[in-house]
Amino acid sequence: MDKGQPGSENNESVPVTAEVLPTASIGLPEREVASLDEKEKRENVLEADIKIKAAAPLASSHALINGNENIILSVPFLSQAPLANWEDARQQDGCEEAGALMAMAWARGEIDTSPKASEKAIIALADWQQEKYGEHRDVYIDDVAVRIFQDYFHYDKVKTQVIIDKNDLISALKEGKLILAPVNGQALHNPNFKAPGPERHLVVIIGYDNKTDEFITNDPGTRRGASYRYSSEILFPAIRAYPSGYHQPLVGVEKKVLLVEK
């Protein structure tokens, strides 16, 4: 991520899991919903369809889109500056490290995502990359797969994929795959970012709302990034791979993401 561009608010975060239920089974009791007008019904359903809670992982890691059901993977959230130490350059540029840690916490379930432990893990991973590869900032998505997942975590159930449209993302989620997406953070228009936002950023796509056409993400660039929603019309155009190395020139638009399997 670009130095100094993510959110600068108090970024203390807690590990969370997310649960999505069929829209027909959530919200107010049936007898109360029946008395509401259609607008109020929709608002109650949307407010209730994601329940964020600090709890153990769900028994099922994902649910398939079917009718009014949504899909979401139970992925712990952590900010790239878990204790709000944004002055540390390793955390200012730590979106790739934070995204990989969230993915590994989901895939293996053995990573401590408490703020203190997360900060140590992000710094350790950045320092390791700097020593071995000579750079830890703005990591190309193929290098995230090879350097971070395969070399550092010794985890091979990852692959990069060029995507054509939003349906490629939805299909991957339906298959239970977690998505790490490099993006132009300025194009996300996230109000929690320090304006104008990071030109090079990475978000973890954990789900999709079939009713609202929104992708559900864990965005490490803000402490408010857990299950943060982006319209598909915002997120898909923003996806853009960037080269490894600090602020290397961007040539063209390469729509490539990293898929992680359990």
Whole-angstrom Cα distance, residue 96 to residue 189?
A: 19
The reply to whether 238 falls in a domain is: yes
The reply to whether 130 falls in a domain is: yes
The reply to whether 102 falls in a domain is: yes
The reply to whether 247 falls in a domain is: yes
**In the chain, how many domains are there?**
1
Instruction: Read off the CATH number of the domain in which 39 is found.
Output: 3.90.70.10
Q: What is the 3-state secondary structure (H, E, C) of the chain?
A: CCCCCCCCCCCCCCCCEEEECCHHHCCCCHHHHCCCCHHHHHHHHHHHCEEEECCCCCCCCCCCCCCCCCEECCCCCCCCCCCCCCCCHHHHCCHHHHHHHHHHHHHHCCCCCCHHHHHHHHHHHHHHHHHHHCCCCCCCHHHHHHHHHHHHCCCCCEEEEECCCHHHHHHHHHCCCEEEEEECHHHHCCCCCCCCCCCCEEEEEEEEECCCCEEEEECCCCCCCCCEEEEHHHHHHHECCCCCCCCCCCCCCCCEEEEECC
The reply to whether 223 falls in a domain is: yes
The reply to whether 5 falls in a domain is: no
The reply to whether 11 falls in a domain is: no
The reply to whether 248 falls in a domain is: yes
| Per-residue confidence in pLDDT tens, the chain, 262 aa | 554 456 555 433 333 333 433 333 323 333 333 333 443 433 333 333 333 222 233 333 444 444 557 999 999 999 999 999 999 999 999 999 999 999 999 999 888 999 999 999 999 999 999 999 999 999 999 999 999 999 999 999 999 999 999 999 999 999 999 999 999 999 999 999 999 999 999 999 999 999 999 999 999 999 999 999 999 999 999 999 999 988 888 888 999 999 999 9
CA atoms 156, 138, 202, 239: torsion sign: negative
pTM, two decimal places: 0.76
> Which structural domain range is residue 29 located in?
17-260
Is-contact 147 134, C-beta < 8 A?
no
